[in-house]
Structure 1
Amino acid sequence: MGATPTFRARFEAMVACLRAHPQVEVYEVVIGPPASEVDLREAEEAVGSPLPPALREFYGAHDGVFLEWGLRGREYASRTVPFGWPDERQPPGCINLLPVRKAMSTSWRADRHVGPIQPQDLAAMFGAMLEPEPPVRVVCVDHYSRCKHGDLIFGPEPVMMVSDDYGADMGSSDCVTFSTYLDMTLAIFGADRYYCGLGNGWTRAPQFMPAWTSPPDLDRTVAWMAENTGGG
């Protein structure tokens, strides 16, 4: 069944851990109501592909999940509107798992949120050229940063990756299932999924990561944020 059946309980436990930390300030938490079967079916029709079972299950339990937090005592120039588009200099801790109708859209590439993924990119991810190709190759599921986001790549078994550089970089992230993506996101407390998770920095070819095994460590995450993220 993967990670999704216990996601809400684990998410709420993570938020409680954040609220208890003396260096952390939690700004906003939103858990959407379950998506309807009509919502799910119409989302799949919009992109012309079925949703992975774990993603469908996630939306069937909560149609969007949002969290934003930062370091206590720091001022940030902007806050993210839940299920909206992050701006520059937002608080560094953000989970923005979009509602299914917003995520399963054909407009991501036109809106420049997702870069152009080519047939050869799909072949590299899935081991062969896809025939037929999926009608929509990629959508944004977790818009946690202005220039980085968790994207779903459609194929025989769709995978998640983290696009960098406003979605133009499709080659410096490892790939995971949606369930593993959730595991990672919770384990790093919504910190940057590229630098703290799947990014390989162009030092090697992308790989499929079958599981997330690094245990949660909020003190380490807070220390990384203090050193690598700014504020006003």
Structure 2
Amino acid sequence: MAQEASAGQLIGGKYRLVSSLGSGGFGRVWKAHDEHLDVDIAIKEIWLPPAQFEEEYNERLKRAAREARSAAKLRDHPNIVTVHEVVVEAGRPWIVMQLVNGCSLDEYVRQHGPLPRDLALKVARALLEALDAAHRAGILHRDVKPANVMMASDGRILLTDFGIARHKDDTVLTASGTVIGSPEYMAPERIRGRADMPVSDLFSLGATLFQAIEGISPFRRETSMAFHVRGVDG
């Protein structure tokens, strides 16, 4: 099993980890410095569970490569965080990304409360444009949520973390019955394990915007079982 990463570690021979920016179910995002170009970047460390290591490793590596491939098609869009490359270091894949100074929509609402009308409209337009570009490229995000929306300090709104995005022509990498994503923002058809559709991303966008405007998630539940009940029974 790979050792836990730490500040000061060199990744890919040129990316020096500076500080942790946050973590989620699949990994941790670091601020890092590109010592070749002398610029700051963000780099996402993908965590590999110890159980069934080889199988999980291969799946996560494929998912990381897929994120880079998907994001490369969208790298010029002003409302999508740019992914530069994927490197493998310390037994796990690392996704090198554009560094966005600011905070997530989730953090913003926690700190400042519900968004005012004009800002909410700005966020909605930016995310609709980002998803429209992704869908036109045949890419489904599959994990739209406040934590994956960046509120940049310069006023930009960007969609990030295409880590579980899937192109319409990709094969499904997860085992049958496995749900990957954030259940409280997932469309019912995804919880049921049915085929993904662009409209499913729009359902997640709706839940995200509800939280942005009201300050609470509309489908938050105490247990994961409650989501399966919602997904099956409506």
Give the structure-2-normalised TM-score: 0.32
Structure showing the higher strand proportion among its residues: 2
Give the structure-1-normalised TM-score: 0.33
Highest RCO, 1 vs 2 (Cα 8 Å, sep ≥ 6): 1
